[in-house]
Amino acid sequence: MADLRINLAGIKSPNPFWLASAPPTNSGYQVQRAFEAGWGGAVWKTLGEPILNVSSRFAAVSYNGQRVAGFNNIELITDRPLEVNLQEIYETKKKFPNHAIIASLMVEPKQEKWHEIVKRVEDVGVDGLELNFGCPHGMAERGMGSASGQVPELVEKQTYWVKEAARTPVIVKLTPNITDITVTAEAATRGGADAVSMINTINSLAGVDLDSWNTVPHVAGKGAHGGYCGPAVKPIALNMVAECARNPLVNVPISGIGGISNWQDAAEFILMGATGVQVCTAAMHHGFSIVEDMIDGLNNYLDDKGLASVMDLVGRSVQRYSNWGDLDLNYKIVAEINNDVCINCNKCHIACEDTSHQCIDLYTEDGRPMLKVREEDCVGCNLCSIVCPVDGAISMVERPSTIPPMTWNERQSLLSSLSK
């Protein structure tokens, strides 16, 4: 069995699976149940001045039969007194000394406010702090959350204030509601962050009820934008993690968040530079027990790859993530159809004929309908293999090129030199 223990900026946990700061980590009862189920760590639901939450507050987007493909919420930070949370953190840490407990914090952008809450939460034994600069709704209207997280100067300044008082590692949680997340990640690093976590939720409106015309969700007939998460946001989150992991100015560990639902998702985030991952929506959808499959699956995967530790997996794909201008323009793949497996649904032909490059021909052989790709016209776009409902019916295969590799950047450089 591989070693699943991680060390994220000095925060140790028995495995890389943490619960994100959210409804599942709202109380000591929940966090203790999660640890008993096998979760390696938990980021406590964000602490600050307790607020009043609204009812209702959640909504979900289901797609093509999949429930909760995306999840939307307009819930804010903790609505329980700070003293109650601190007592439960103390009790939970005492009962589970080897599990990671990180306090998520959000206060006004004032130095004294940060110093005060940091000292109070560290006194009860947390392993680290996560600064919530990401919440896109409710708190942002009060000058906190993403209102701070969208301003690099505020991210840097507030991180620095926290580091003045903190004795434990400081993680800065970043908002995706920004043009370039690496800018705020760099700011957090300049401010002294020991790690960054991403992504927080994305600004969203889940939907509109076509009968009542109310937003979904609504509060007494009125709605507001909320935060979007769940499987639908995974590609966005994975890109942002990768961009930060390959940025030399963001030279701190990353805690990956965003649509992680199984061990495969977790492995992808770790390959793209995350030391550990945080999960919320999947736990809310299926319960804490999902971590059992995550642990078993990741263990088996590491064994299959011959890796002794999950830490050996961190960042192994980062060097393969680049800019478009560095891609080989002369690399060639084409689609290949296996008619022995094909069920003749013709989805590939329709997709290619209507929306791609018209390179799949329909013909009949011995009275049987067949499909064939004209390779000279195929651009290797992958669309046919994507829409095909049968595994193995369409493969994308490499074709040797007689032309040496050349990137767009190299091509532009060559054209520039020739024009002189």
**How deeply is 256 buried, as exposed, middle or buried, from its count of CB atoms within 10 A (0-12, 13-18, 19+)?**
buried
Q: Which of 116, 127, 197 is nearest to 155 (CA)?
A: 197
Rounded distance between C-alpha atoms, residue 27 and residue 127, angstroms: 17
Rounded distance between C-alpha atoms, residue 257 and residue 21, angstroms: 10
What DSSP assignment string belongs to 236-248?
HHHHHHHHHHT-T
Task: Please say whether the beta carbons of 169 and 11 come within 8 A.
Answer: yes
87: how many CB neighbours lie within 10 A of its CB? Answer: 13
Rounded distance between C-alpha atoms, residue 68 and residue 88, angstroms: 31
Strand partners, 226: 204
Rounded distance between C-alpha atoms, residue 359 and residue 376, angstroms: 8
DSSP 175: P
Return the amino acid letter for 55: S
Q: Which position among 135, 359, 378, 388 bears the catalytic label? A: 135
DSSP 8: E
What DSSP assignment string belongs to 41-74?
EEEEEEESS-----SS-EEEEEETTEEEEEEEE-
Strand partners, 8: 11
Task: Please say whether the beta carbons of 233 and 260 come within 8 A.
Answer: no
135 given a catalytic annotation: yes
DSSP 178: S
DSSP 302: H
Rounded distance between C-alpha atoms, residue 277 and residue 279, angstroms: 7
- The dihedral region occupied by 258, where left means phi > 0, alpha psi between -120 and 50, and beta the remainder, is left
Rounded distance between C-alpha atoms, residue 244 and residue 272, angstroms: 10
Q: Which residues are catalytic?
A: 135
